[in-house]
Amino acid sequence: MIEKEGVPQKELLEVLEKKLSKDYEYYKGNILGSMCTSAHTFGREVYCKYVNKNLGDPGLFPGTSELEEEVVKEIGELFHGENIMGSFTTGGSEANLIAVRIAKELRPEVEEPEVVLPVSAHMSFDKAADLLGITLRKARLLSNFQLDEAHYRSLINDNTVGAVAVAGTTSLGLVDPIEEIGKMIQDKDIFFHIDAAFGGFVLPFLEKTGEGLPVPKWDFHVEQVDSITADPHKMGMNVIPSGGIFLRNEQIIQKTGFEIPYLAGGNFKHLHIVGTRPGGPVISFWALMHHLGMNGFKKVVNRCMENTQYLSEQIKTIEGINLATNPLMNIVGITTHDGQSICELDKELRMQNWMLGKFEDFNLIRIVLMPHITKIHLSKFVGDLKKVVKKLEL
């Protein structure tokens, strides 16, 4: 119940501190299975300063709106595109939903639209398909977790309005064969979307990759690619919420956008699901990108990759468990040596307060080596992992 007379701020802050003490905290190092991390302090500062900006009515905030255009264009260049359009979103799910909707809108003549995607694609595509009345055709993976290209090709037909590939899979951080898929749909009227929600702010900064795996072409470099999802609130270290949708063709917003005619700031077309839209994360990421520069991001990614390498090497020495695959990015998958379920392993480690990702379909535990994780946290984890594997006699 809300009190009749307000409670003093100091008192409330104390209550909040107590109530929120249940939450896990990134800096403690036991959040090992998340794609989010502590927001960069400079970004946080800028965000707080500009928290009132609403891009849902861009005519009232032309400065913020111009900044969004600028940062989108710059990210587009990072992804080897020219004059890229697009916008920030609430996250990867909204960006993917927007992309699937565009694919459908561009082909109104197709009565039963379908989208082809790998089975490793994120749940947000299932949500999008459900909301938009689209059928998903899911391509299998091979035993090494790479896409079965022949199966993907076989799912493309006259009803295919969209093709999706992932640059940084949710489970293992792998990149689909994007050039090859591009060739498959060449000269077909199929919208090609890349989900780089995670990989978008890793791949451009990867210098040396795990086990020397080459970084495949994944972005606007591939001429068939029409759009990309990339989320600043994952490896971009920006505040939540900040995802992004990036589009090659500037006409798409005019062709498929929604128009709200009564806005205080005047008419605008937009692609978003939300109306009122935070401008703060756009401004904070503009500032963060320019503050860190290429080298700043490379440094962060390098450190995450060093930790990835360290953890991978350690896992290789533990009998009973295996690396699911050599990591390309800062995600490590642990599986059992003989195919035994990872559920018990996950449960035991969780009891030791390690918050991991569990992917039952692929029988693997996921560790995302985000910037908040240090080698000290990892060596503690490895110690517990060894004990648990022994206890379970894996």
Q: Which residues contact ligand 0PR (rule: CB under 6 A)?
A: 34-36, 91-93, 96, 122, 124, 166, 168, 170, 195, 197-198, 231, 243, 357
Is the separation of the CB atoms in 320 and 389 below 8 Å? yes
Nearer to ligand 0PR, 170 or 335 (CB): 170
Cα 288 → chain centroid = 18
Query: Alpha helix (H) ranges present in 167-279?
Result: 178-185, 251-256
Q: How far is the CB of 14 from ligand 0PR (least distance, A)?
A: 27
Q: How far is the CB of 173 from ligand 0PR (least distance, A)?
A: 9
Specify the 3-state DSSP secondary structure of 322.
strand
Nearer to ligand 0PR, 114 or 195 (CB): 195
Query: With 0-12 CB in 10 A as exposed, 13-18 as middle and 19+ as buried, what is 62?
Result: exposed
Nearer to ligand 0PR, 139 or 389 (CB): 139
Sign of CA dihedral 189, 195, 199, 200: positive
Q: How far is the CB of 244 from ligand 0PR (least distance, A)?
A: 10
Q: How far is the CB of 197 from ligand 0PR (least distance, A)?
A: 3
Nearer to ligand 0PR, 12 or 355 (CB): 355
Nearer to ligand 0PR, 181 or 318 (CB): 181
Length, in residues, of the chain: 394
In 3D, which of 367, 112, 334, 81 has the Cα closest to residue 230? Answer: 81
Q: How far is the CB of 97 from ligand 0PR (least distance, A)?
A: 9
Query: With 0-12 CB in 10 A as exposed, 13-18 as middle and 19+ as buried, what is 19?
Result: exposed
Nearer to ligand 0PR, 294 or 355 (CB): 355
In 3D, which of 82, 76, 65, 124 has the Cα closest to residue 99? Answer: 124
Q: How far is the CB of 84 from ligand 0PR (least distance, A)?
A: 19
Kindly write down the DSSP assignment for every residue of 272-289, as one continuous string: -S-SS-BSHHHHHHHHHH
Q: How far is the CB of 169 from ligand 0PR (least distance, A)?
A: 6
Nearer to ligand 0PR, 36 or 394 (CB): 36
| Tokens of residue 249, six digits | 């063709």
